[in-house]
Structure 1
Amino acid sequence: MNITQEKTGNLNAVVKIKIAPADYSAKVEKAIKDQAKKAQLPGFRKGMVPAAHIKKMYGKSILVEEVNNLLNDTLSNYITEQKLEILGQPLPQMDDAREFKWDNTDEFEFDYELGLAPAFDVNISPKDKFTQYVVKADQETLESRIKNIRRSYGKMTNPEVAAEGDVLYAELVQLGTDGSVFEGGISNTATIRLDLIKDKKVLKSLVGLKKDDVVTVDIQTVFEDTAAIAKALNISEEDAADLKSNFQLTVKNVNRLEESDLNQEFFDKLFGEGTVTDEAGFRTKIQEEVESMFTQDAERKLSNDIYEALLEKHSFDLPDEFLRRWLKATNEKLTDEELAEGYDDFAKNLKWTLIENKIIKDNSIEIKYEDVVAAAKAKLDAQFRMYSPSPLPEDQLAQYAVQFLQDKENANRTFEEVKAAKTFEQIKTIVTLDQKDIDYDKFVELDKK
């Protein structure tokens, strides 16, 4: 066997692999004998089919398979031994002039094009300065969060008169242009959340309604979007988008979720027995929780600022033409238009991956299984806390994390998240971070820019 490499550009190379019969004959003969032992053919007992018969019937397909296996192993080992850092996967070069007999006497030659990763150094120092925002919770956000939590632990009541924030259970019947019930029109019962109605005039017309009250409404102003209208009326979104009729709304019931009292029973449900004993302690805990969520937003912005700055600072080329061909070869449904529109983003993310990998390699950063499990637990814990501030028991959380990571996609995504987190933590130990307090509303405006 003979393997050679020819550089065809700064970031491109062609690997030529020549295979002689001596390289594959023994593997082919062994594969034929193994097939003969397992074959079940008419006229032969199992395991007693002559190898010559198998060779006559399946010899060519076995030869093709063994040569392909040999090629794949040889190319993979060569890339590893030569320590070639490639991008994408090797692309076979087609040569219509070459014809093989596939009769166990052929000398094969196959060429593979490689896209090579660029060589570069990561240049990060304390001269690189970034703002690390400390986001403070404003009173409106705190009160909204407190209200939602109290409602989560509250009870459902049925007041006589509807108020803002209540839910109406109502019958909706389509009206004709003259205001009378449209015969054969749309009708359905639905729930209407008054807190989601943005039109103040419409909201005013519904606040104060009682059971059996009847009003006429423009359906497009009662629900927040087309999907909500379709669900309420049990029709398609296409029909909902074109619906212009008024509807007769008859109140069947008024539902209200009363907020839980700020008492010891409520505090113990949220935080564990005796952890919080008064309203001041409760508000402090909620503020910590809210600002903890803001910390995640601030860290995300800091990471994005670092990402953009380092990409701009580290300018290097990629084997773009090769990568475009590779993307087309590995994504059959990818159109030329989609490739043209998406390639710049792909290249940008690939450049960041190369920077990330270089930082991990240069600093001998390890990503251990326990790191991935811890990340999965943190993610699941955050999801559960969206519905209740009470933490899950540690053993239950660990069990959920293991189940979550059994899904390959979840495991790969979590691994990449841990990898990114460790990379940014390493960067933050080198660059200069200037902390700055900022109110949440101002941070939101800043983050939109």
Structure 2
Amino acid sequence: MNITQEKINDLNAIIKVSIAPEDYTEKVDKTIKDQAKKATIPGFRKGMVPAAHIKKMYGRSILVEEINKMLSDALNNYLSENKVEILGQPLPKMDDTKEFKWDFTDAFEFEYEIGLAPAVEVNISDADQFKAYQVKADEETLASRIKNIRKSYGKMTNPEVSAEEDVLYAELAELSADGSVFEGGINHTGSIRLDQVTDEAVKSTLIGLKKDDVLQLDLQKAFNNNENIIAKLLDITEEAAKEMKSTFQVTVKNVNRLEEADLNQEFFDKIFGEGVVTDEAGFTAKITEEIEGMFKQDADRKLQNDMYTKLTDEVKMELPDEFLRKWLKATNEKLTDEELNEGYEDFAKNLKWTLIENKIIKDNNIEIKYDEVFATAKERLAAQFRMYSPAPMPDDQLTQYTTTFLQEKDNANRIFEEVKALKVFNHIKSVATINEEEIAYNKFIEMN
């Protein structure tokens, strides 16, 4: 077997693989003999099928399979042994002038196009400046979070008259164009959450209602055409909800209100553990710490995005664009030319960042260890659970969740890439100049 590389330019090359009969004959013969021992064919005892019979029946397909295996192994070994850094995967170069007989005497020659990774130089110093925001909880955000927590531990009551954030338990009957109840139409009892009603004029008609009150309601207007909310309310499909144009007669069956939990010791102990918080000031401080911890992740993401943008803009490199476009089309059969043109710029930018990342990791001997991947996954899961309750999950239970989570290959790869990116960003922070600035959360949101 002979493998050669012909460079077209700094970013493109052709790899030629030549395979002579002596390269494949022994492997093909062995495969034929192995199949003969296993084959079950009428007229022959199992294990006694002549190899010549197998060759006659399946020889060509066996030869094709063996050649494909040899090609794959040869390409991978060649690229690895010669340290050829490529982008994408090799693409077979089609040549309609070549025709193989596949008769066990052929000498094969295959050509593959490859896109070569460009040389990358990444120079970061203290002259590179970035801003790191310390995001603080503003009064409105803090009050909203406290209210949500108190409600999640609160109790349900049934006031006589509905208010802005109540839930109306009501019968909804579809109406005909003349305003009468549509016979055979939708008739369903469900819960109308007033906090989901986006139209203020409609919401005003739902405030001040009592049990047995009746009114007409345009659901599409009330919920701003949100088919998900309408589908759940009427117990229909989202597709049907999207097409729904009818007005509904609403008959109030009950008014439900979720009262906020009292700020007492029982409430504090239930959330944070016995005796951890003993007064309202301590409770507010804990919630502030919790949400500012979440804000820190947002601030870190902004800093990372600023680094990503600066380096991908400033680090100059050329990519084998024509090859990459061809490779994307070859590996994504449903990708249209329009989708390729629209998405290629983002793809190329992300690829540039990957090359920058790899260069930083290589130049600075950065290692990614499993315990770091595990710790990051555990931290991410803990943050998800905190969204539902401030009370921390027991460590042994969280560890088990993390172990199960990382057994999924996609999850493990995603967290690995996250740790890899974080290590690169931390390296950049250690070299560049980072200017810190405090900012209220509501102002920080306006920047994004």
Q: Is the 8 A contact 2:155 2:261 kept in 1?
A: yes
Give the Cα separation in 2 of the matches to 1:245 and 1:17: 68
Counterpart of 1:252 in 2: which secondary structure? Answer: strand
Q: Is the 8 A contact 1:196 1:224 kept in 2?
A: no
- Correspondence for 1:279: 280
Give the Cα separation in 2 of the matches to 1:64 and 1:246: 66
How much identity, in percent, do the aligned residues show?
68
Give the Cα separation in 2 of the matches to 1:50 and 1:422: 60
Give the Cα separation in 2 of the matches to 1:242 and 1:102: 59
**Alpha carbons of structure 1 residues 309 and 249: separation in structure 2 relative to 1, 3 Å:** same
Q: Report the CA distance between 1:120 and its aligned residue.
A: 1.7
- Correspondence for 1:248: 249
Give the Cα separation in 1 of the matches to 2:339 and 2:8: 28
- Correspondence for 2:150: 150
Give TM-score, length-normalised by structure 1.
0.95
Counterpart amino acid of residue 366 in structure 1: E
- Correspondence for 1:415: 416
Unaligned runs of 5+ in 1: none
Q: Is the 8 A contact 1:192 1:223 kept in 2?
A: no
Q: Report the CA distance between 1:52 and its aligned residue.
A: 2.0
Counterpart amino acid of residue 360 in structure 1: I
Give the Cα separation in 1 of the matches to 2:94 and 2:219: 62
Structural mapping, 1:256-335, within 5 Å: 256-335=257-336
Counterpart of 1:210 in 2: which secondary structure? Answer: coil
Give TM-score, length-normalised by structure 2.
0.95
**Alpha carbons of structure 1 residues 238 and 3: separation in structure 2 relative to 1, 3 Å:** closer
Q: Deviations over 1:57-81 (max 9, x none)?
A: 2222211111111111111100001
Unaligned runs of 5+ in 2: none
**Alpha carbons of structure 1 residues 139 and 35: separation in structure 2 relative to 1, 3 Å:** same
Give the Cα separation in 1 of the matches to 2:180 and 2:440: 53
**Alpha carbons of structure 1 residues 50 and 216: separation in structure 2 relative to 1, 3 Å:** closer
Counterpart of 1:103 in 2: which secondary structure? Answer: coil
Give the Cα separation in 1 of the matches to 2:441 and 2:321: 42
Q: Report the CA distance between 1:179 and its aligned residue.
A: 4.1
Give the Cα separation in 2 of the matches to 1:318 and 1:345: 13
Q: Is the 8 A contact 2:132 2:435 kept in 1?
A: yes
Q: Report the CA distance between 1:430 and its aligned residue.
A: 0.9
Counterpart of 1:9 in 2: which secondary structure? Answer: coil
- Correspondence for 1:215: 215
Q: Is the 8 A contact 2:199 2:223 kept in 1?
A: no
Give the Cα separation in 2 of the matches to 1:52 and 1:353: 52
Q: Report the CA distance between 1:250 and its aligned residue.
A: 1.1
Q: How many residues align?
A: 447
Q: Report the CA distance between 1:272 and its aligned residue.
A: 1.5
Give the Cα separation in 1 of the matches to 2:181 and 2:107: 85
Q: Deviations over 1:389-424 (max 9, x none)?
A: 111111111111111122222222121111111111
Give the Cα separation in 1 of the matches to 2:60 and 2:116: 35
Q: Is the 8 A contact 1:226 1:237 kept in 2?
A: no
Q: Report the CA distance between 1:441 and its aligned residue.
A: 1.4
Give the Cα separation in 1 of the matches to 2:395 and 2:187: 49
Give the Cα separation in 2 of the matches to 1:224 and 1:190: 18
Q: Report the CA distance between 1:14 and its aligned residue.
A: 0.7
Counterpart amino acid of residue 213 in structure 1: D
Which stretch shows the higher mean deviation, 256-265 or 313-322?
A: 256-265
Q: Report the CA distance between 1:91 and its aligned residue.
A: 0.7
Q: Deviations over 1:311-369 (max 9, x none)?
A: 11112100011111111111111111111111111111111111111111111111122
**Alpha carbons of structure 1 residues 49 and 241: separation in structure 2 relative to 1, 3 Å:** closer
Structural mapping, 1:423-438, within 5 Å: 423-438=424-439
Structural mapping, 1:177-216, within 5 Å: 177-216=177-216
Counterpart of 2:346 in 1: which secondary structure? Answer: helix
Give the Cα separation in 2 of the matches to 1:90 and 1:184: 62
Counterpart of 1:132 in 2: which secondary structure? Answer: strand
Q: Report the CA distance between 1:180 and its aligned residue.
A: 3.9
Q: Is the 8 A contact 2:159 2:257 kept in 1?
A: yes
